[in-house]
Every structure is written in C-alpha cells, then in structure tokens.
Structure 1
Amino acid sequence: MTDPGHLRALAHPTRLRILSLLTGSALTAADVARELGLTHANASYHLRLLRDAGELVVAGEESIRGGRAVRYRHPWREEDRPGGASTGEVDPGAAELVVRAATQELQRRHRDRRRDLPGIVTDAELWVEEETWVRARELLLEAAALVHDGARAPRAEGTTLVNLSLFAFAMDPR
C-alpha cells in the first residue's frame, strides 16, 4: 500500500503548486518563495516535506552569501523518482486528502485563468466500451506527458502559464 504519509505530504494546495513549479526547472527555496509569494521559511518547510516524501530530488547546490542553497526539481515520471515506480495500492483516506487539495488549487487556477486564450472544461460520468476508456486514458497520458516535458522555468521568454488537471478513473458501478 502506498505510504499515507507520502500522500498527505501532497495534500496541500501550496505543495501542489511547488511540484508544478519544479517540473520545469530546478529552483531554490528563495526562488520558490519569490515566485509563489511565500516567506523563505514557509517555502523551505514545504520543500522539506516534499523532499522527505520522495517527490523532489536535489538538482544541485550553490554558495550564496556565505550560505548553501539547494536546488530542487520534481521528477514527475514515477520511474525517474528515487526507488522507481510504485506498484502498491493507494490509501483511500490519504488519496481523498490529495483530491481535496487539488480541487481547492483548481478553483484558484480557474479564477486566475487567462480569458483571451481558449481552455477546456468538461465533466462526465458515462458508460463507455472498455476500448473507448483505454484509448481516452492513453490520450490523456500523452497530453500530460506533452505539457510536463514541455515545462520551462517560470516566466521564461516565449512561455505561457497553463493548467492541466486530470482526474480520470473507472468508476465502481454500485
């Protein structure tokens, strides 16, 4: 079973934002604090929780004004994380916490969306043939890989801040 502590570390909107931020580039706590409008201490706290949960890897260190700054990055593909891909069951209670945090974060992102570029909002609970579900899931995985692999440093020239939130799963037909 997936460690509930690991999922609980993800169950906070700020930590979800940090993971997104560290997908495109390796940043220090000061960089994260500046980009997200956090205090340095708060950014360091969230980074420590994510690192301890195995969601971040150290991408380098540098000396800054007599101190040591650690750069972190988020290896978004499970196979790129220390220990490799997870094969265990997910703790339902901890997973629910992550869904709640993601829902809260999605509301903020939707409020902050650009109105001049088209987006997509869809919701469905449908009965489809299994082949349709398998193909839809493949396309969603491809879209997720496309935007994650295309992630760049915050505010890099030629980039647009986007949101891609996917919740796709087969339902229990009780």
Structure 2
Amino acid sequence: MPDATTPYDLAGLRVVAHPLRLRLLSLLTAEAFSAAEAARVLGESQANVSYHLRRLAQVGLVQLVEETIIRGGTAKRYRHDPASGEVLGSGHADEHQALMGSLAAELIARSARYVSESEFVFTEAQVTVSSEAWKRIREMSREVGKLIHDEATPSAKPGGVRISATLALFEVSTDDAAPRT
C-alpha cells in the first residue's frame, strides 16, 4: 500500500462508492474475515464478497493478514486499515458524489437499526471557518475516526455497544451556484 502521502488514482474512490464494499470495510475493522466468513455475516454470496474483497485489496483498503489451509483450499483473511482511506485521491466531482451517494444509502440502511432510547449525536453544517480551525477540525476528526477503529471489537463480544459513525469533511465552493457535477 502506498504511504499516507501518496494519492491513489480514481480507482480507489470508485471502489469505495459501493454499498457492499462499505459494509465490508466496517466488518473488517474489528476483526479479520475470509470471503466465506464475511459472506455468512453479511448474507451475501461468497463469490460476490470475494470479488469485492479483491477490489478493496487492489487499492490497499484491506490487507491480507492470514492464510489458512481449510479442506485443501486456502482461506485468505483480510482486515481493513482505517488510515488507508486518508490516501484516496479526491477525484472529480462525479466520483466524490458517487461516494457520498453510497455513504448516504448506507447511513439510511443503518438508521433502520437505530436504538431510539440511545443518545444521538448530530452535527450538520456548511459554514466558513478559518484555515487554522479547518486544520484542527480535520485533525480532531482523524482522531475520532482512529479511536472508533482502534476500539472496535468483534460484534459478538459481550458488553459491546454497536454504533454507526459516518463523517465526511471536505471543502466546498464558495459559489452557491457552482455546478454540481
């Protein structure tokens, strides 16, 4: 995988603009899974999950962490490195919109499982801030993302709290009439 200063080409952004791949990245944060294991958890076919895992691996969003011989075959287990998303190239507006569309669809799907008695944290903003504040906001957001991923545990672990988090920060044009393509 390239280091954090090396941008991926647009293929990386296209890869994550798919709902199943977003679900795989979440699943592979807490523990490593093979395609067969991930397929069982996600209710998908092994062939479909295997294809999407290969695509995620091609752009460095998941890493092969273990190979195990099972019944004469090799099970490859992958894990998601949450820092890998930092190096995706920003791409063109249409690529960015495809990613945001996938994130929005996944957020809507997750919201169906919202525990209504739980505490809800929400922020929505399109504002202007100082360049110093923008830098601090990005740093704090990276820290929150790292904490979420570092503390992720297998979903079967007793006493765990299942959460959903989606955070996308990006600069926008100051021209409200800017093209949306």
Same fold (TM over 0.5): yes
Mean Cα deviation higher: 15-24 or 34-43 = 34-43
Quote the offset at 1:87 in angstroms. 8.2
What residue in structure 1 maps to residue 38 of structure 2? 32
Q: How big is each residue's C-alpha offset from its partner over 1:81-122, in whole Å with a ceiling of 9 and x where there is no partner?
A: 9xxx74855333322211111111011111212222212122
Contact preservation (8 Å) 2:82, 2:146? no
| 1:127 Cα deviation from its structure 2 partner | 2.8
Deviations 1:24-78 (A, max 9, x none): 1111112111111112122112112111222111111112222211100111113
> Residue 10 of structure 1: CA displacement?
1.0
Two-structure CA RMSD over aligned residues (Å): 2.1
Q: Find the counterpart in structure 2 of residue 47 from structure 1.
A: 53
Using the size of structure 1 for normalisation, the TM-score is 0.86
Assess, with a 3 A threshold, how the Cα gap between structure 1 residues 104 and 72 changes in structure 2: closer, same or farther. Answer: same
Q: Give me the whole-angstrom Cα distance separating, in 2, the residues matched to 1:46 and 1:101.
A: 15
Q: Is the 8 A contact 1:2 1:90 kept in 2?
A: no
1:57 matched residue in structure 2: 63
Counterpart of 2:65 in structure 1: which amino acid? A
Larger deviation, residues 136-145 vs 124-133: 124-133
- Under a length normalisation based on structure 2, what TM-score does the superposition of the two structures give? 0.83
Runs of 5+ unmatched residues, structure 1: none
Q: Following TM superposition, by how much is the alpha carbon of 1:154 offset from its aligned partner in structure 2, in angstroms?
A: 2.7
Distance 1:37 1:88, change over 3 A: closer
What displacement does 1:162 show? 0.8
Q: 2:21 aligns with which of 2, 15, 20?
A: 15
Identical pairs, percent = 36
In the alignment, residue 136 of structure 1 is paired with which amino acid? I
User: Counterpart of 2:82 in 1: which secondary structure?
Assistant: coil
The residue number in structure 2 matching 1:105 is 106
1:59–1:71 CA contact under 8 A, matched in 2: yes
Structure 1 letter corresponding to 2:136? R
Q: 1: distance between equivalents of 2:90 and 2:25?
A: 22
Contact 1:61–1:70 (CA<8 Å) still a contact in 2?
Answer: yes
